[in-house]
Chains A and B, each alone.
Chain A
Amino acid sequence: EAGVAQSPRYKIIEKRQSVAFWCNPISGHATLYWYQQILGQGPKLLIQFQNNGVVDDSQLPKDRFSAERLKGVDSTLKIQPAKLEDSAVYLCASSAWDGMNTEAFFGQGTRLTVV
């Protein structure tokens, strides 16, 4: 079974530029998550999708971050414009459904450096 795929693996941009990350979840997984992991901290949930609908985006900085999951499969996360404090690893995860006992499977992440 293929895992969660993310691209690119690394990205360096200047502040005020825009950037986009892509995620392809495990086939058939209805729930998709984007997490932000700042160096020295645990992952923080940015947004959670159930199929192509948003179920939680309470911690997403909506003035600069946006995410979509068209057709309930792949997802993109965009930052525009980027700030220095956005430097982090962005992790995508998916689970079969949104339940208490479902396991989330993580991709390798995209490491973003904003200079």
Chain B
Amino acid sequence: AQSVTQLDSQVPVFEEAPVELRCNYSSSVSVYLFWYVQYPNQGLQLLLKYLSGSTLVKGINGFEAEFNKSQTSFHLRKPSVHISDTAEYFCAVKYSGAGSYQLTFGKGTKLSVIP
């Protein structure tokens, strides 16, 4: 089974500073990678996804992520964060399991933007 590791459980950052949220996954033949955001008391919303092609993926709200196959990483970045980016971010990997496609999540990283 696939596993996803988010190396930081909490990341505080000052407003307008850059941020990187790290994600590593266990290697597999073929996986698709996702980043979701969860605002307080809300469900998960898709930020971006990597399916194939360019390894640099751009998503909503100015976020982007880079797929690195050799390092099995899919780190999320934003050059300048806003207060509204305060939320929990989940990295997820989708792979072909026994008869279905499994979407497995990491434990999440809480991003706190400090004014």
Contact = CB atoms under 8 A, between A and B. Distances in A.
Interface of A: 4, 33, 40-45, 48, 50, 55-56, 91, 93, 98-109, 111
Interface in B1-29: 4, 6, 9
Given A91-B43, A108-B41, A41 B103 contact: no
B100 A100 contact: no
Interface residues of A, dominant DSSP:
loop
Contacts of A109: 42-43
Contacts of B4: 42
Contacts of B100: 48, 50, 55-56, 98
B97 to A, nearest CB: 7
A40 B106 CA distance: 11
Contacts of B101: 98-100, 102
